[in-house]
Amino acid sequence: MNLNKTPIAAAVALAILTLSGPVAAQSSAAPDAAPSGAVQVVEVTGIRASLQKSINVKKNADTNIEVVTAEDIGKMPDKNIADSLARLAGVNITYNSALAFDEAERIAIRGTPPFLNQTTLNGHSLSSGDWYIGDQNTNTRGISFGMLPSQLIGQAIVYKNGRADIVEGGIAGSVDIMTRRPLDQKKHLVGEVAVGAAHATLAGTTDPQLSALVNWKNSAGTVGVLAQVFSEKRHLRRDGQENFGQGLYLKTQAAADPAKGGNAALVGKRLPSQLNSAFFEGVRERQGGYLGLQFKPSKALDVNVNVFSSSLSADNYNTSAFAELATVVNNGGLIKDFTIVGDVITGGTITPNPTRVNGPTLQFAHQARTGAKSTAAYHDIDLKWKPSAALTVTAKAGATKGTGETAGQPGALYEIFDKGITYKLNDDGRSPADWNITGTDLTDMKSYRLLPNVGGAIYTLDKESYAHADGALKLDAGALTTLKFGVRASAHVNDKVTVNGQYKLPGVGAGGSSQANMDANYPYASWALPSGSFPSDYAEGMDGNFPRNLPRYDAKTLIDWGNANLTYDPVLNKNWGSSATVTEDNRAAYVAQDFELDKLSGNIGVRWVQTKVRSDFYRALNNGALACPALATSCTPGTGTLISQGAITSSRLSGYLPVSVSNTYNNLLPSLNLRWDVDRGLIARMSLSRTLGRANFNQLAGSLSGVNDTTFTASSGNPYLKPITSNNADASLGWYFAPRAYIAGSVFSQRIHDYVKPGTSIQSLFNITKFANTKDAATSYSDYTVSSSSGKKARLHGIEISGEQPIGAGFGVLANLTYVDSKDEDGIALVYTSKITYNLRAIYEDDKFSASLAWNYRNKYAIGFSGNGVDAVNPVSLVRTGANYADAQGTLSASASYKLSPTFSLTLDASNLLNPVRRYYAITEEMPLGFYKNGRQIYLNLKARF
C-alpha cells in the first residue's frame, strides 16, 4: 500500500481536525527516536523541537501513548503540569472538592475518575498531600500536581494501554513523569536562574517566583550532578455564590400543609438548602528542591540517586454568609409568592414560624485556616546493569511521603435568628440568585449572636516504601526479540486524624457549648469585631442581587481571637470517628515477550498483583457505654462498659470502639499490544488488556456513624471493596506524513468491574446492645445494612482524533477531540466523564520569539451523586436522587518567550484569560450548587542561562 503524501491529503487531514489554512506538507521522514521501553530524555529547545521530540516518541512506541516534552531546560508548555497534560487527547483536569480554584490539581484519563489513574515519577510511586481542607478530608489516591513545579520536568508520557511491565493502578491510563538526568546534558556545565513575578488579577497582588538549576558532569561523562531549588509565592482569591445542597423536599412541613397556611402545590418540590455570599482568600508558597546524582563508571552500569522535596504552605481565610432557607421551612416557616420551574421552587418569600424562638435564619462564618499546608517528597536509587550484551537488569528502591494539614480553623461563626428570607433563582437557576434577609442590616454586627460552632483540624499522611527488580533478555529466536520479567513490592499507609475545635468554656463535653452558654459568656462587648468589609469589586461580573458589602475581619485579628478562645487539644478533642487508617502491602510479578515479524511487532505478557489491605476505623459509643462529662477530662467507664473490647477512652467527645478489617485479593492482568507499520509513516496499533485500580482510602475506611442495633443499619466506608479491574480494547491508526505533522485516530472500550459508587453493603459489626446482654464478645457480631460505597459494573467507550500541522512561516496548529460515552450498571455516567473534550492550539516560533495560544473545552460532567445517582423520586419520602454536575467549561491560555541574547530570555505565561464564571448544579440546571470566579494569572520571568 502506498500513500501519496500530497498537500491535498494533508489538507483533508486538517479538515477532519476542524483546522484550516495553508498546508506545507513535506515528504521527508521524521528522525528516529529512542526505541520503546528505552525512552531517553535528551536536550531539546523551543516549541517546535519539543513537539518534534514528542511526536517521535509517540510514533515509535509499541502502544498508544501521548507525550509532552519540555521546550527547554525548566520550560514546560504551561506553568502547571496538569494543564500541559490536559492538552493531550483523552486527558482532562479536575479541581477536586474545592470545585473551582485557580489551579488544576489532578487529571482524569478517558473519562475515568482521577483516583483510577496512576501517576509515577521516573517509574516509581509518588505520595502527596492536599492543602485544602475539603481534599484533606477525602484523602484520595491521586497525586496533587500542584506540588510539582513544571520546571522540574523533562518529559511526561501518558500510557493508554495496559502492559505487563507498567505499575498497576490506572485502569484507563498511567502517567510517567520523567525528570532530567545529569549525564543526558551535552555540556559539562549548564545552569539556569529564573527570577519573576506572578500576578493574580482578582487578588490584585504580584508575588515573587524564583528558581535555579545547575547541571554538572565530568569530562569523562561518568559522574553527574543536577540540583534544583524553587520558591514560588502566589495569592489567590475566589468570589462565589453557593448552595450547599438541593435542600428540602416539601411533604409534611407546614409550608406544604394547607391546614397550617401552606400550599399543597409545593409538595414534592425542591428548595435550595442555603444561598450564600462566599469570599475566599489565600496565599500559597511552594518551596523545595531536587537533587539528582548519576554514576556511570562503565557502559554496563548506570546508577541514579534522586531526592525531591516540595512543601506548599497555603494559609487561607474564608467568609461565607448563607441564608438557611431549608432550616427556616423545616422549623415551620411558610413559603409565599413562590414560583416553580420543573420541580424547583425558584423564588419566593419565606416567613419564620412565629411560635418558634431561636430559629436559625442566616449563618455568617469567618474561618482562618492556619497551618494549611501540604508536602510531597521521595528519595530513591535507580540502578541499570548490563552483565552481558543480551541481559539488562534494572532495580529501584526508595520511599515517598506526602502530608496534608490544617492545624486549626480559628474564627467566629455568627447567626441571625427568627427572620424571613426572600430569594429568586435567576435565569431559572442558571445565573447567581437574588437573596436577602428581610428587615435586617447584615452589615451591623449587633444583628448577630456568636455561635458555639467551631471548625476542626485535619492531619493526613500518605507514605510508601517500594522496591522493583526488572530484567530484559535479548533472544536470538526469530520473531521473539526480548523477554522481560520483574517483581515489585510496596508497603503503603494512608492515615487521617481529625481533631475537633471547641470554645474554652467550663462544662463543655461531647456536645459542645449550648447557645445559652455562649450568650452568657460571650456578649457583644466581648467580641473582636471585623474592621473591614468585602472588597468593592467583590463578585464583579457575576449577575444576581445578593449581599456584597458584608463585614470582614483582618485575618490576624480573627486568628488572635480564635487562638485565645478555642482549643484543639490533640488528645481530648480527637475525633476518632472521623479518623481512619488504611494499610496496603502490594506485591506484583510479571513476564512479557516482545516480538517482531516483518512489519508487525508488539508484546504479550501477564502481571500478577496481590493486594493485602487493612482498614482501621472507629465507632462512636453512646454514654451508656462510656460517660464523657467535662471539658478537662477524658471519657470514663460507665454502665455497659466496653473497655474489655479495647474501647478508646482518651477523648472527651465520646468513647470509640476500634474496627479492623483485613482482606487479600489476587488478580491476573494479561495484555497484548500490536504495532503494524502499514506503510512509511502509517502506523496501526491494537491492544487488549486487563488493568487494575484501587478504591479511594476514604471509601475503604470512612466514618462509621448512625449505627442502629435494632434496625441493623449504619453509614460507613466499605472495607470489603475489591480492586477495580477493567477489560480494555484499543485500536488506533496514525499517519505521520511530515516532520511535526501527523493525524491519528483511536477507538477504545472498557468493561469495568467493581467500579465504586454510593450504595449499600452488608457488613459484620460489633453489636453493642447484644454484648451488653450477653457479655460474650465472640457472639456479639451482627450483619448490618450499611450505606456505603459499593462495587458496580460499568462500561465506557470512545473515540479520539488528534493531529498537528506546520503551516509555514513559523506557524503551526494542533488539535484533538475526544468523545466518551460511559454508563454503570444503574445506567448513570461515570463521575468526571465529559462526553466531548477538545483542544485547539496555535503556535509561532522564530529564532528569537515564540508564542502559543491554547483553548481547552469540555462539556458538562458529573462531580458526585445524590443517592446512587439514578434520577428518580422516592414515592414515600419524595426525595429526588440523581447526579450533580459541573457545567461546560472552556479555558484560554497563552505563553510567549523572547531571547534577549544567548544568555537572557523573557517568558510570559497567562492562564484563565477569559475569566469565566464556573457553574455547578444538582440534577437539573434549575437547582444551582455554585458560581465561582478566580481571575486571571500572569507570570513573567527573566531567565539567565550559562
Which DSSP helix (H) or strand (E) runs through 520?
A: helix 515-521
Q: Name residue, grid cell 530484559.
A: 472
Percentage of the chain lying above the pLDDT 90 cut:
73
Please tell me the predicted confidence (pLDDT) of residue 257.
81
How high is the pLDDT of residue 253?
77
Residue 41 — pLDDT band, cuts 50, 70, 90? very low
Beta carbons within 8 Å of 554's beta carbon, 6+ residues apart:
530, 531, 532
Q: Is residue 111 part of a domain?
A: yes
**What pLDDT does 82 receive?**
85
Alpha-carbon distances, residue 257 vs 260, 264, 329, 361, 745 (angstroms) = 5, 6, 12, 21, 59
Contact 868, 787 (CB under 8 A): no
169 within domain boundaries: yes
How much is the mean pLDDT over the chain?
89
* Arithmetic mean of pLDDT, 452-479: 95
Most confident of 31-35, 61-65, 796-800: 796-800
- Say how far apart CA 918 and CA 934 lie, in whole Å: 9
pLDDT band at 643 (very low <50, low <70, confident <90, very high): low
Instruction: Give mean pLDDT, residues 421-432.
Output: 96
C-alpha closest to that of 158 among 910, 746, 833? 746
Three-state secondary structure call for residue 360: strand
* Cell matching residue 533: 468589609
Residues 6+ positions from 87 with CB-CB distance below 8 Å? 68, 77, 78, 814, 816, 839, 841, 854, 856
pLDDT at 13 over 50: no
CA 88/CA 157 separation, integer angstroms: 10
- Tell me which range, 72-76, 90-94, 370-374, 874-878, is most confidently predicted by mean pLDDT: 370-374
Residue 834's identity, in one-letter code, is S
Q: Rounded CA gap, 742 and 16, in Å?
A: 12
Is the pLDDT at 834 greater than 50, yes or no? yes
d(CA 589, CA 308): 28
Confidence of residue 70 (pLDDT cuts 50, 70, 90): confident
pLDDT given for residue 404 in this prediction = 96
φ/ψ of 119, rounded to 5, equals -120, 125
| pTM for the whole structure | 0.90
What single letter denotes the amino acid at residue 304?
N
What pLDDT was estimated at residue 337?
94
Of the candidate ranges 85-99, 186-200, 584-598, 929-943, the one whose mean pLDDT is the lowest: 85-99
The position carrying cell 525548566 is: 74
> Cα(11)–Cα(63) distance, rounded to whole angstroms?
27
Helix (H, G, I), strand (E, B) or coil at 145: helix
CA-to-CA distance for 896 and 913, rounded, in angstroms? 14
DSSP 370: B
pLDDT of residue 508 exceeding 90: no
The residue among 72, 103, 99 whose CA lies nearest residue 86 is 103
The reported pLDDT for the residue numbered 3 is 41
Question: In 541-579, at which residue ranges do the beta strands (DSSP E only) sit?
Answer: 551-552, 566-567
SS3 of residue 941 by DSSP: strand
Whether 362 shows a pLDDT value over 60: the answer reads yes
Residue 231, all three cell numbers: 520558591
| Residue 520 CB-density burial (10 A; 0-12 exposed, 13-18 middle, 19+ buried) | exposed
pLDDT band per the 50, 70, 90 thresholds, residue 72: low
What pLDDT was estimated at residue 646? 77
Is residue 624 within 8 Å of residue 640, measured between CB atoms? yes
Pairing between β-strand 600-621 and β-strand 655-679 as defined by DSSP bridges: antiparallel
Taking the mean position of all CA atoms in its chain, how far away is CA 263? 43
One DSSP character per residue, 640-654 reads: T--GGGT-B---SS-
Residues paired with 499 in a beta bridge:
457, 574
On whether the CB atoms of residues 399 and 464 are closer than 8 A, the answer is yes
Cβ(507)–Cβ(529) below 8 Å: no
Task: Give yes or no for residue 907 having a pLDDT over 80.
Answer: yes
The kind and range of the H/E element at 59 are helix 47-60
Tell me the per-residue pLDDT of 668-681, one tens digit each, with 9 for 90 and over: 999 999 999 999 89
Nearest Cα neighbor of 73 from 222, 202, 182 is: 182
What b-and-e string marks burial along 602-624, b requiring 16 or more CB atoms within 10 Å of the CB?
A: bbbbebbbebebbbbbbbbbebe
327 class by beta-carbon count within 10 Å (0-12 exposed, 13-18 middle, 19+ buried): buried
CATH number at residue 757: 2.40.170.20
User: Does pLDDT of 12 surpass 80?
Assistant: no
Its domain, for residue 797, covers 7-945
Q: Do the domain assignments include residue 306?
A: yes
**Of 15-29, 484-498, 521-535, 539-553, minimum mean pLDDT range:** 15-29
1 in a domain, yes or no?
no
Q: How far is CA 922 from the centre of its chain?
A: 20
Our count of domains for the chain comes to 1
* Rounded Cα gap, residues 820 and 799, in angstroms: 7
For residue 290, the cross-strand partners are 228, 308
The whole-angstrom separation of Cα 462 and Cα 75 is 29
Half-sphere exposure of 224 (CA within 13 A, CB side): 25
Band (73; pLDDT cuts 50, 70, 90): low
Q: pLDDT tens digit string along 697-707?
A: 999 998 888 88
- The pLDDT assigned to 149 comes to 84
